[in-house]
Amino acid sequence: MERELAKCHGFRFMIEERGFPILSGHFEYGESGSGCQGLGYILDMDFIKRFLAVFGVDSFEKTDGKFCWVIHDNSSITKIEPLRKIDGKVFDILEWQKETRKTK
């Protein structure tokens, strides 16, 4: 896993073809945005609250252009962290996934 500074781009709420609510967007890595990694999940209210809390905003559109720390490997993003702790809260995606499985 690697921790990289990332810039948010294009995060939007949408309903996919089978009717599932989805968050879609990507993180740009590096100073020139040369690398990027997408993030797309079926949403629940807990995911929405945790994602927005990283940035201290109330809508996905307000994350555009904001920076954060992303913990990831080539296949997945496991954690999203605010630039500074006072800016927001850490979103541990693996923890969210475990909690979501327990409630099903």
Q: What is the pLDDT of residue 87?
A: 87
Domain encompassing residue 31: 2-103
How many separate domains does the chain show?
A: 1
Q: Is the pLDDT of residue 28 over 60?
A: yes
CATH, residue 47 = 2.40.50
Q: What is the pLDDT of residue 9?
A: 94
pLDDT tens digits for range 33-88? 568 999 888 889 999 999 999 999 999 999 999 999 999 998 899 999 999 988 89
Q: pTM for the complete prediction?
A: 0.88
Q: What is the pLDDT of residue 74?
A: 82
Q: Is the pLDDT of residue 19 over 80?
A: yes
Phi then psi dihedrals of residue 59, to 5 deg: -150, 155
